[in-house]
Amino acid sequence: MRIGRYLSVFAFLPFLISLAGPYCCNSWASDADDILGNSTCVECHEGQAETYKRSLHGRALGAKKEMKDRYGCEFCHGPGAKHAEDESAESIVSFERKRGTQAEVKNAACLKCHSASDEVALWAMGQHEQFDVSCSDCHSVHADSKPHANPSDRCLVCHKDIRSEIRRLSHHPVKENKVSCNDCHNSHGAMARAMVRDDSINELCYKCHAEKRGPFLWEHVPVEENCANCHNPHGSNRPGLLKARVSTLCQDCHNGVSHSSLPYDQTSAFGSTRSDPASRLLVGRSCLNCHTSIHGSMHSDNAFFLESSGRFLNR
């Protein structure tokens, strides 16, 4: 692989462009008479000023003359003149949830800069905006040196049903910090349902599970339509993230004729003998005992010997 060599070339580019002038998202309007400047804010909020210095915003924007002098705190919190007079939380834009500032107002402060981002570009289309979630519900600008929210901590505070699902027997390794909510979902908004990061569920899953991509000689229609027809990606008490037990799940569709419609119960499973091996239909992997290539098969097929059938996903 020549990846390393190409990356080395890229590494030299920053040397050449590091003297480029700063690009900032916008030029912000201001009501100059109501702007007091950072020094006034720090008189009362010295602690917040200290934490801000160490924060990512403080480091990234601290070099800006405007931010240092006149548009520091008030760029996000709004003009401070009225707040300086009455010292109430309602006279300033407060990002604490208990202060009751509307989410739209809080978000507008963040979006002044961060709307110029492809990650946040679809914020208006997403469910979080629709349900009045504010940026500060997940991100803590002052407290953290890295305000990127940790999805495993932040998402699951609200999405408690998902929190219970990822703790089930079969789950993606979210709580083990190997998979993040953000790997599949764009919490800042997306056009797809459930704000997934791709145009379809299958294309999203194939990024990590390319062995399911095919194309296969013999396809299984529900597999090709939507992985979520059979799987719950957050977690399940059945193996393989399946929504239901194998025979029950398969019988959602295969409930017509032949053995697929049989009511597999204790008499057909545990009352069988070696010469009448009906138990394979229920115990172990149930339908998958025989139909092993359930996601698709590359095996040949024929009209008369069904057991060695690629068409029925047996091989």
Partner 1 sequence: MRRSKMILLSAILLVSTAVVSAAEDASYDGSVSLEGRVTDQTGQSAFLNQYEDMDDAVFGNFWANYYKGKAYLELEGRNFSLTDQSYGLKVGRYETFKFSFSYDEVPHKISLGARTFYHGIGSNTLTYSAVDRQKDTDTELIPNVSTDPATWSVFNYEEQRRTFGVGLELSLNSPYFFRVKFTEDKQEGTRPAGVVTGVFPDVAEYMLSAMGNVVELPKPVDYKTQNTVLEAGYRSERVVFKLSGMLSDFKNENKELSWRNPYVTTEELHEIISLPPDNDYYKVAGQVSVQLPYRSALAVRGGYSKGTSESLIDPTIPVSTDGFPPYFLPFLPLESPIYGTRELDLSTNRFEGVTSRANASVAFSSRPTKSLDIRAYYKYFERDSDSSVITFSTTDPEDPTNTGTVQNHPYGFEKHNAGIDLGYWLPMATKAMLGFDWSDIGRDELPIAESTTDREVWFELLNRHFEACTLRLKYAHLDRSSDFKLGDIGESLIDPISIKRFVRYYDSTDKNRDAVR
Whichever of 34 and 301 has its CB closer to partner 1, that residue is 301
Whichever of 60 and 194 has its CB closer to partner 1, that residue is 60
Q: Closest distance between partner 1 and the C-beta of residue 123, in Å? A: 8
Report the alpha-carbon distance of residue 78 to residue 92 in Å, rounded: 6
Q: Which residues of 267-287 are buried (b: 16+ CB within 10 A; e: fewer)?
A: ebbeebeeeeebbebbeeebb
Q: Closest distance between partner 1 and the C-beta of residue 168, in Å? A: 11
Whichever of 39 and 117 has its CB closer to partner 1, that residue is 117
Q: Closest distance between partner 1 and the C-beta of residue 17, in Å? A: 5
Given the structure tokens 């030299």, which residue do they identify? 12
- Residue 68 is given by DSSP the state H
Q: Closest distance between partner 1 and the C-beta of residue 84, in Å? A: 27
Q: Closest distance between partner 1 and the C-beta of residue 142, in Å? A: 16
Q: Closest distance between partner 1 and the C-beta of residue 145, in Å? A: 7
Whichever of 87 and 119 has its CB closer to partner 1, that residue is 119
How far, in whole angstroms, is CA 158 from its chain's centroid? 14
Q: Closest distance between partner 1 and the C-beta of residue 228, in Å? A: 12
Q: Closest distance between partner 1 and the C-beta of residue 20, in Å? A: 5
Whichever of 24 and 44 has its CB closer to partner 1, that residue is 24
What type of residue sits at position 70? R
Whichever of 34 and 219 has its CB closer to partner 1, that residue is 219
Could you tell me if 239 and 248 are in contact, meaning their C-beta atoms sit under 8 angstroms apart? Answer: no
Whichever of 39 and 226 has its CB closer to partner 1, that residue is 226
- SS3 state of residue 244: coil
Task: Give the residue ranges of DSSP H helices in the chain.
Answer: 3-17, 38-44, 46-54, 56-61, 65-69, 73-77, 81-86, 103-114, 127-130, 135-138, 151-158, 160-165, 181-184, 201-206, 221-225, 246-250, 266-270
β-sheet bridge partners, residue 231: 242
Could you tell me if 140 and 128 are in contact, meaning their C-beta atoms sit under 8 angstroms apart? Answer: no
Whichever of 48 and 272 has its CB closer to partner 1, that residue is 272
Report the alpha-carbon distance of residue 187 to residue 292 in Å, rounded: 36
SS (H, E, C) 92-126: CCCCCHHHCCCHHHHHHHHHHHHCCCCCCCCHHHC
